């Protein structure tokens, strides 16, 4: 009897447990939509807070920029600050930094010595200077001109002026060299002169170089003088070269030449 009673009690407890599970499951099914709604609402609130924070930062920065503009123009309202003056300054050719290359007129000249010119020989020890004639036909001239052995300036500015003269002497062995010219103590000097239009074309010595050579009458001798410098030249100024003992000049274009190059205003 006791065993039968315990078995019935076991069956009754099992039925009660299953019934309890059925009673517990429906509430779980009912809470799942509520949990989803709560999650969606939380995400929505967080999104709104983020948007609000972004708007607050944007408004803060906008206010800061407005304060900065006002600080640069404290006596003018914001609507009166216009970029037209800056644009007009950029359009003004006098204020532009990047100028048209054509506006910067470059000038240059390079002239070799003229071959067909004769200089008399001199045995005098006294220095005598002669103006050199240059070969305009075989030279180059750009925004400069050449006239009467002088290089003429047509565009004012800073120029680098240069000149090179070579002297040589050797005995040819012909009748014209008997007796030979005494070159044992010869002064070979090169001068570059500048005629200024502001000083009524008065010539002033711009450069000078040279040496006193002790040459041998019976061998080949050669000496070159070269110099250059920067100088400001006005329109109408002139440049020319003088040398002593010009009859010894080397008449090759690579050895004796004269020129100028403009590089600035």
- Do both 31 and 110 map to the same domain? no
Which residues in the chain land under pLDDT 50? 22, 24, 27-28, 30, 64-65, 67-87, 89-91, 93-98, 100, 102-103
Domains: count for the chain: 2
Residue 95 lies in a domain: no
pLDDT of residue 107: 94
pLDDT of residue 196: 94
Q: How far is CA 87 from each of CA 70, 92, 217, rounded to the nearest angstrom?
A: 21, 9, 75
| pLDDT per residue as tens digits for the range 101-138 | 544 558 999 999 998 888 877 655 555 789 999 999 99
Residue 73 lies in a domain: yes
Which CATH number do you get for residue 205? 2.60.120.40
- Do both 46 and 117 map to the same domain? no
Q: What is the pTM of this model?
A: 0.58
- Do both 139 and 77 map to the same domain? no
- Do both 123 and 249 map to the same domain? yes
CA distance 137 to 103: 28
CA distance 264 to 157: 6
| Boundary-marking domain end, from 81, 115, 136 | 81
| pLDDT per residue as tens digits for the range 44-83 | 778 777 777 777 666 655 554 454 444 444 444 434 434 4
- Do both 75 and 178 map to the same domain? no
| Boundary-marking domain end, from 27, 48, 81 | 81
pLDDT of residue 136: 93
Q: What residue numbers bound the domain in which 137 lies?
A: 105-264
CA distance 15 to 46: 48
Peptide bond connecting 179 to the previous residue in cis, omega within 30 degrees of 0 = yes
């Amino acid at each position: 009897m006791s065993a039968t009673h315990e078995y019935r009690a076991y069956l009754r407890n099992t039925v009660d447990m299953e019934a309890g599970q059925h009673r517990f499951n429906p509430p779980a099914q009912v809470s799942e939509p509520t949990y989803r709604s709560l999650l969606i609402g939380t995400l929505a609130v967080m999104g709104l807070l983020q948007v609000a924070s972004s708007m607050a930062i944007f408004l803060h920065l906008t206010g800061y920029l407005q304060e900065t503009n006002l600080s640069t123009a404290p006596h003018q309202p914001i609507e009166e600050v216009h970029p037209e003056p800056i644009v007009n300054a950029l359009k003004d050719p006098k204020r532009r930094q990047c100028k048209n290359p054509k506006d910067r007129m470059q000038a240059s000249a390079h002239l070799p010595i003229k071959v067909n010119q004769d200089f008399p020989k001199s045995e005098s020890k006294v220095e005598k200077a002669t103006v050199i004639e240059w070969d305009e036909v075989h030279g180059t001239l750009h925004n400069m001109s050449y006239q009467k052995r002088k290089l003429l300036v047509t565009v004012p500015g800073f120029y680098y002026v240069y000149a090179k003269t070579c002297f040589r002497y050797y005995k040819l062995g012909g009748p014209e060299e008997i007796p030979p010219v005494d070159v044992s103590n010869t002064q070979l000097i090169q001068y570059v002169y500048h005629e200024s239009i502001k000083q009524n074309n008065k010539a002033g010595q711009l450069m000078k170089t040279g040496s006193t050579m002790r040459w041998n009458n019976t061998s080949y001798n050669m000496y070159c003088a070269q110099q250059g410098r920067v100088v400001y030249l006005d329109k109408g100024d002139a440049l020319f070269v003088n040398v002593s003992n010009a009859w010894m000049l080397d008449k090759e274009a690579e050895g004796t030449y004269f020129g100028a190059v403009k590089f600035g205003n």
